[in-house]
A and B are shown apart, each in its own frame.
Chain A
Amino acid sequence: MNSPLALLSLIVALPLFGVFFALTSKDDADKPGRNAFNVCVFTLLANIVLIWRIFMILDEESGSLQLIERFRWLANPEINIMFGVDTFSLLLILAVHLSVLAGLAGVRRNIVKQKSLMVFTLLFLSMATGFFVAADIFSFYIFFEAMLIPLFMIVGIFGEVKKQGTVYRFFLYNFLGAIILFSAVMLIYHMHGSVTLEEIAGLKWTRRLDVYIWGAVFLAFLSRIPVWPFHFWISSVCAGLRNPLAFIVTALLPLTGIYGFIRFLPEPVPFPLNVFVDWISIIGIVTMLFIALIGFINKDSQYKIFSYITVYYILYLLGAFSGDEMVLLNIGFSLFSFMLIFSSLETLLTHILRKEEQEDIRSSGFLCKTKRLSFACSYLTIAAVGMPLSAIFINNFFILSKLLASNVKMGMVLIFSLVMVGCTLLQELFRLKTDNPACRADRNDDISFPVFAFFIFIMFILLMSFINPLWFVIDE
Chain B
Amino acid sequence: MLQNWLFLLPETFLLTFLPVAALVNRYRADKTPKTFFTLSKYCLIAAMISTIVFYNQSPLPKLWQNTAFTALFKIVIYLVGLAWFYLSSKWFLAKNKMSLVFYVYAMLAVLGMDLLLSAATFALPAVIVPFLCFLIWRMLHLMTDEEDVAEVSRLYAFWSCFFCLLLWGGIFLFWNQLHDLSFEGIKAFLSRPHVIALWEYAAVTLIMAALLFMMAAAPFHSWLVDVITLAVLPVGGLLTVLLPFVCLACLISLMCGVFLSLADFMQPVLLFFGVVSLIVGALSANGETNLRRLFAFSTVYNLGFMLFGIVSFKTVALLGAFAYTVIYVLSMAGIYTVFLGLKSRGNYLVCVDDIGGLSEVKPYLSAALLIFMFSLIGVPPFLGFVGRLSVINNLIVDERWLHVVLLMLSLLFMANAYLQVIRKIYFSPLKNSFDRTDKAIYICLFINLILVVISLLNPGYLLHDAELVLSGAF
Give the B-binding residues of A (Cβ under 8 A): 73-77, 79, 113, 116, 127, 141-143, 145-146, 148-149, 153, 156-157, 164, 167-168, 171-172, 175-176, 179-180, 182-183, 186-187, 189-190
Residue of B nearest to A156 (CB): B427
Nearest B-chain residue to A157, judged by Cβ: B426
Q: Which residues of B contact A113 (CB under 8 A)?
A: 360
Q: How far is the CA of A189 from the CA of B392 in the complex (A)?
A: 12
Given contacts A74-B463, A157-B427, A186-B396, contact A171 B379 (CB under 8 A): no
Q: B381 contacts the other chain (Cβ, under 8 Å)?
A: yes
Taking A157-B427, A187-B396 as known contacts, 12 extra A-B pairs with beta carbons closer than 8 A to each other, sorted by chain A number, are: A75-B467, A77-B390, A127-B381, A142-B380, A145-B380, A146-B380, A148-B379, A172-B412, A172-B419, A176-B412, A182-B392, A190-B397
A to B CB contacts below 8 Å, 17 in the list = A74-B389, A74-B459, A75-B460, A75-B463, A75-B464, A76-B319, A76-B463, A141-B380, A149-B379, A157-B359, A164-B427, A167-B427, A171-B419, A172-B416, A182-B392, A186-B393, A189-B393
Does B411 sit at the interface, judged by CB under 8 A? yes
Inter-chain contacts of A143 with B (CB < 8 A): 380
**What are the 6 A-B residue pairs with the smallest beta carbon separation, nearest first?**
A142-B380, A168-B419, A77-B393, A146-B380, A179-B408, A190-B396
Q: Is the CB of A175 within 8 A of B427?
A: no
Residues in A whose Cβ lies below 8 Å from that of B408: 179-180, 182-183
CB distance from A367 to the nearest CB of B (A): 35
Chain A residue numbers with a CB within 8 Å of B467 are 75-76
B359 proximity list for chain A (CB < 8 A): 116, 157
Task: Give the complex CA separation of A77 and B389 in angstroms.
Answer: 8
Chain B residues lying within 8 Å of A164, measured Cβ to Cβ, are 423, 427
Q: Are A116 and B412 in contact (CB under 8 A)?
A: no
Q: Give the A-B contact count at a CB cut-off of 8 A.
A: 82
Name the CB-closest residue of B to A212.
Answer: B401
Whether B291 sits at the interface, judged by CB under 8 Å, is no
Given A74-B459, A168-B423, A189-B393, decide whether A175 and B374 contact each other with a Cβ distance below 8 A.
Answer: no
Most A CB contacts (10 A, CB to CB) among B359, B393, B420 go to B393
Q: Is B252 an interface residue (CB 8 A)?
A: no
User: In the complex, A190 Cα to B404 Cα: how many Å?
Assistant: 13
Residue of A74, A116, A142, A175 ringed by the most chain B CB atoms within 10 A: A74
Candidates B316, B380, B419, B426; contact of A76 at CB < 8 Å: B316
CB-CB contacts of B360-376 with A at 8 A, as 1s and 0s? 10010000001000100
Provide the bound-state CA to CA distance between A156 and B470, in Å: 43
8 A Cβ contacts from B384-407 to A? 385-386, 389-390, 392-393, 396-397, 404-405
Binding site for A on B (CB under 8 A): 316, 319, 359-360, 363, 370, 374, 379-381, 385-386, 389-390, 392-393, 396-397, 404-405, 408, 411-412, 415-416, 419-420, 422-423, 426-427, 458-460, 463-464, 467
Tell me how far the C-beta of A78 lies from the nearest C-beta in chain B, rounded to whole angstroms.
Answer: 10
Chain B at the A interface: mostly helix, strand, loop or mixed? Answer: helix
Name the B residues within 8 Å of A187 (CB-CB): 396
Q: How far is the CA of A186 from the CA of B392 in the complex (A)?
A: 8
B396 touches A153 (CB 8 A): no
Which residues of the partner chain B approach A149 to less than 8 Å between Cβ atoms?
Answer: 374, 379
A284 to B85, CA, bound (A): 59
Alpha-carbon separation in the docked complex, A306 to B390 (Å): 40
- Contact for B379 among A73, A145, A186, CB less than 8 A: A145
Write the nearest CB–CB distance from B372 to chain A, whole angstroms. 13
Q: Residues of A contacting B390 with CB < 8 Å?
A: 76-77
Instruction: Compute how far the CA of A76 lies from the CA of B464 in the bound complex, rounded to whole angstroms.
Output: 9
Nearest CB to that of A171 among chain B residues? B419
- Tell me how far the C-beta of A426 lies from the nearest C-beta in chain B, rounded to whole angstroms: 37
The reply to whether A175 and B415 contact each other, CB–CB distance below 8 Å, is yes
- Do A175 and B412 touch across chains, with their CB atoms under 8 A apart? yes
A179 and B426 form a contact (CB under 8 A): no
Q: Smallest Cβ distance from A38 to chain B, in angstroms?
A: 19
Write out the residue numbers on chain A whose beta carbons fall within 8 Å of the beta carbon of B397. 190
Residues of A within 8 A of B316 (CB): 76
Query: Which residue of B has the minimal Cβ distance to A191?
Result: B396
Among B420, B422, B427, the one with the most A-chain Cβ atoms within 10 Å of its Cβ is B427
- Picked from A116, A141, A142, A183, the residue with its CB within 8 Å of the CB of B404 is A183
CA of A352 to CA of B415 in the docked complex: distance in angstroms?
A: 38
Count chain B CB atoms within 10 A of each CB in A127, A157, A182 and give the residue with the most: A182
Residues of A contacting B396 with CB < 8 Å? 186-187, 190
CA distance A456 to B360 in the complex (A): 37
* CB pair B419 A74 closer than 8 Å: no
The closest CB in chain A to the CB of B405 belongs to A183
Instruction: Determine whether the beta carbon of A153 is less than 8 Å from that of B379.
Output: no
Instruction: Report the Cα distance A76→B390, complex, angstroms.
Output: 8
CA distance A170 to B294 in the complex (A): 22
The complex places the Cα of A79 from the Cα of B397 at a distance, in Å, of 15
Asked, given contacts A75-B463, A190-B397, whether A156 binds B423 with beta carbons under 8 Å apart, the answer is yes
Distance in angstroms between the alpha carbons of A180 and B385 in the assembled complex? 15
Alpha-carbon distance A190/B394, docked complex (angstroms):
10
In the assembled complex, the CB of B145 is this many whole angstroms from the nearest CB of chain A, namely 35
Given A76-B319, A175-B415, A179-B412, is A146 in contact with B379 using a C-beta cutoff of 8 Å? yes
Would A172 and B415 count as touching, CB distance under 8 A? yes
- Determine how close the nearest CB of chain A comes to the CB of B366; give it in whole angstroms: 10
Asked whether B380 lies within 8 Å of A156 as measured between CB atoms, the reply is no
Residue numbers in B under 8 Å from A168 (CB-CB): 416, 419-420, 422-423
Nearest CB in chain A to that of B394: its residue: A77
Q: Kindly report which residue of chain A lies nearest to residue B404, judged by CB atoms.
A: A183
Contacts of A141 in B (CB 8 A): 380
Residue of chain A at shortest CB distance from B363: A116
In the bound complex, CA of A176 to CA of B409 (Å)? 8
Given the complex of chains A and B, what is the CA–CA distance between A74 and B323 in angstroms? 12
Within 8 Å CB of A146, what residues of B? Answer: 379-381
List the B residue with the shortest CB-CB distance to A190.
B396
**A127 to B405 CA separation, bound complex (whole angstroms):** 27
List residues of chain A with CB within 8 A of the CB of B319: 76
Q: Which residues of A contact B385 (CB under 8 A)?
A: 142
With a 10 A CB-CB cut-off, give which of A143, A146, A157, A167 has the most chain B CB atoms.
Answer: A146
